[in-house]
Copies of this chain bind each other. A is one copy, B any other.
Amino acid sequence: MKDMQEKKRDSQYLYRGRILNLRRDTVELPNGKEAFREVVEHSGAVACLAVKDGRAVFVKQFRSPLNEEILEIPAGRIEKGENPEDTVVRELKEEVGIEAKRLWKLGSIFPTPGYSDEIIHLYLTDDFQSTATDPDEDEFVQAVEIALSDALALVHNGEIKDAKTICALLIYKEKYMREGK
């Protein structure tokens, strides 16, 4: 459907920040009319499900926009020039003190394609060892180990609401968990 394509006519930065930029694009719609698009630019992120002996590693973290602590898998923003797998290794070490020996790709997701270019790459590690955490001094996260079956129950009862965490858990279950396990 080529006639759904928009043509960008102008683009203006409204804000350039630390973790995101905001711009306002002027686009020409397929019907020739002009419209505006508010676009959040993000450098992309990774998230990793670390699983051993039927248990997975989560972080409990205060999320300022929600004003509450929520449960997520370890994740982080890809820094400039960084390879996504290196971001995973770094974040696992910083946030939960895990040294991943092997990573598997679970997929990639667009969390909010309507107004952001962010992509989150999802990984699995099932081969890792504990090491000293290397926390960012201004980052406050608590590592929590939860049985996979309990984590899946938390998805279904609505206690886990983080999209990347739900995607990683359910894709992992579909791909790797056998019936009755």
Contacts and interface: CB of A to CB of B under 8 A. Distances in A.
A158 B22 contact: no
A3 B161 CA distance: 22
Contact of A4 (B31, B140, B164): B140
A65 B112 CA distance: 9
A99 interface: no
A110 B70 contact: yes
Interface string A1-39: 101111010000011011110101101011101011111
A132 interface: no
A159 B138 CA distance: 37
Copies of this chain, count: 2
29 contacts: A1-B60, A1-B69, A3-B140, A4-B69, A4-B142, A6-B62, A14-B14, A14-B22, A15-B15, A18-B36, A18-B38, A20-B115, A25-B64, A27-B64, A30-B140, A31-B138, A35-B138, A37-B65, A41-B65, A63-B114, A65-B113, A66-B117, A107-B166, A109-B161, A112-B116, A112-B118, A112-B163, A156-B175, A173-B174
- Report the contact-size class of chain A (Cβ under 8 Å from the partner): 35 or more
A24 B142 CA distance: 25
Nearest to A35: B138
The residue in A8, A108, A138 that gathers the most chain B C-beta atoms within 10 A of its C-beta is: A138
Interface of A: 1, 3-6, 8, 14-15, 17-20, 22, 24-25, 27, 29-31, 33, 35-41, 60-66, 69-70, 72, 75, 77, 107-120, 137-138, 140-142, 152, 155-156, 158, 161-164, 166-167, 170-171, 173-175, 179
